[in-house]
Amino acid sequence: MKIGITGTGSYIPAVLTKNSAFNHHEFLNEDGTPFAHENEVIIEKFKAITGIEERRYAPDTLNTSDMAFFAAEKAIADARIDKETLDYIIFAHNFGDVNHGESQGDTLPSLATRVKHHLKIKNPKCVAYDILFGCPGWIEGVIQAYAFIKSGMAKKCLVIGAETLSRVVDQYDRDSMIYSDGAGATIIEASDANGEILAHASATYAFEEANFLFFGKSYAQKDTSGTKFIKMHGRKIYEFAVINVPKAMKECLDDSGLAISDVKKIFIHQANEKMDEAIVKRFYKAYGMAMPEGIMPMNIKENGNSSVATIPTLFDMVKKGKLAPHSVTKGDVVIFASVGAGMNINAIIYRY
């Protein structure tokens, strides 16, 4: 019996914010001093590196668990299953529900429990829990669901990745332009008629790398509130990712027994366009090959970086023909790969 994805769904918010919206922001260095360049120059350099031209923010009335519920409904409908037959709801996020205008995360009850409540699932044996694994959280949730099903502990699992990063950013930090909101959901189950997970790999690098992403104070010295925001050491993350993610991808592919020529698409965490390209190029270089054209679907240009939601929303878009010219057909081998806070890395080799 194959264990794979039988349904997908996503919620991409309608609130669109273009780069031009940051033209009048006050961007500061870490020490609180202003940048030497005008915002137009800062934004143009930002676009050249990240590929981001616009991003999506959640409406004021919705929270992370609300978007996740919408994505989950679509995934359940796509898989054509009875929601009461779900054994697990696994919800990957980083900051919980953060109400508009606030900065404190709310995880009581868990976001997975909130989704189960919104879905009106009565079955108490449908176990709902959250995982914190940084941006690779959705992939790790899929790996956990796979393990549950393979061991006989479950038959059907709902795995969600959702986040509202726009509500935990420091407006004085230029990195705030990177982050966005969204939700993606998948049904994982055993079925001979669908795709299958062929191999997976995960790792946590915490000896020197644990605090590459962290919670820190605003760069504005006038902010004495003590509120903390998502912060990152971008250069260190870039150097770490381009070395270690290709290794994990290669380890995973080699474990699957497939050849590099079998890979049709790579769904990589939409963190930074140049970084993602460097990762995939180095992955192919390990096999003595150049990166094939069209191998890596990207939606970061329009959607920004929504953390755990990037890969499930990207896969859902491609699967449903919403990101031309990219597509997947039955039998295609694809790779899911991600890197994020922890520092965590993971990958899955999947036959669609």
pLDDT computed for residue 222 by the predictor: 87
Note the pTM of the prediction, 2 decimals.
0.95
CATH number of the CATH domain containing 176:
3.40.47.10
Alpha helices by DSSP H, listed for the chain, are 39-50, 64-79, 111-118, 137-151, 234-256, 273-285, 300-303, 310-319
State which residues of the chain have pLDDT below 70: none
User: Is 168 in the same domain as 230?
Assistant: no
User: Is 106 in the same domain as 237?
Assistant: no
Q: Which one, of 134, 123, 158, 126, lies nearest residue 144 by Cα?
A: 158
User: Is 69 in the same domain as 117?
Assistant: yes
pLDDT computed for residue 152 by the predictor: 95
CA-CA distances (angstroms) from residue 17 to 97, 169, 172, 185, 328? 21, 15, 17, 24, 30
Domain boundary among 147, 167, 193: 193
pLDDT computed for residue 323 by the predictor: 95
SS3 call for 88: strand
Do 9 and 72 meet the contact criterion of CB atoms below 8 Å apart? Answer: yes
User: Is 69 in the same domain as 168?
Assistant: yes
User: Is 315 in the same domain as 171?
Assistant: no
Q: Which one, of 28, 30, 55, 50, lies nearest residue 39 by Cα?
A: 28
**From start to end of the chain, where are the E strands?**
3-11, 15-18, 54-57, 88-92, 127-131, 156-164, 181-190, 196-204, 213-217, 228-232, 263-268, 333-340, 344-351
Domain boundary among 166, 193, 220: 193
User: Is 129 in the same domain as 205?
Assistant: no
pLDDT computed for residue 3 by the predictor: 96
User: Is 24 in the same domain as 153?
Assistant: yes
User: Is 151 in the same domain as 227?
Assistant: no
User: Is 154 in the same domain as 291?
Assistant: no
User: Is 165 in the same domain as 205?
Assistant: no
pLDDT computed for residue 36 by the predictor: 83
Instruction: Print the domain residue range for 84.
Output: 3-193
Q: Which one, of 158, 125, 179, lies nearest residue 310 by Cα?
A: 179
pLDDT computed for residue 55 by the predictor: 97
Q: Report the number of distinct structural domains present in the chain.
A: 2
User: Is 47 in the same domain as 118?
Assistant: yes
Do 266 and 337 meet the contact criterion of CB atoms below 8 Å apart? Answer: yes
Distance in angstroms between the alpha carbons of the first and the last residue of the chain: 14
pLDDT computed for residue 101 by the predictor: 85
User: Is 172 in the same domain as 281?
Assistant: no
Domain boundary among 147, 175, 193: 193
pLDDT computed for residue 191 by the predictor: 87
Which residue type occupies 270? Q
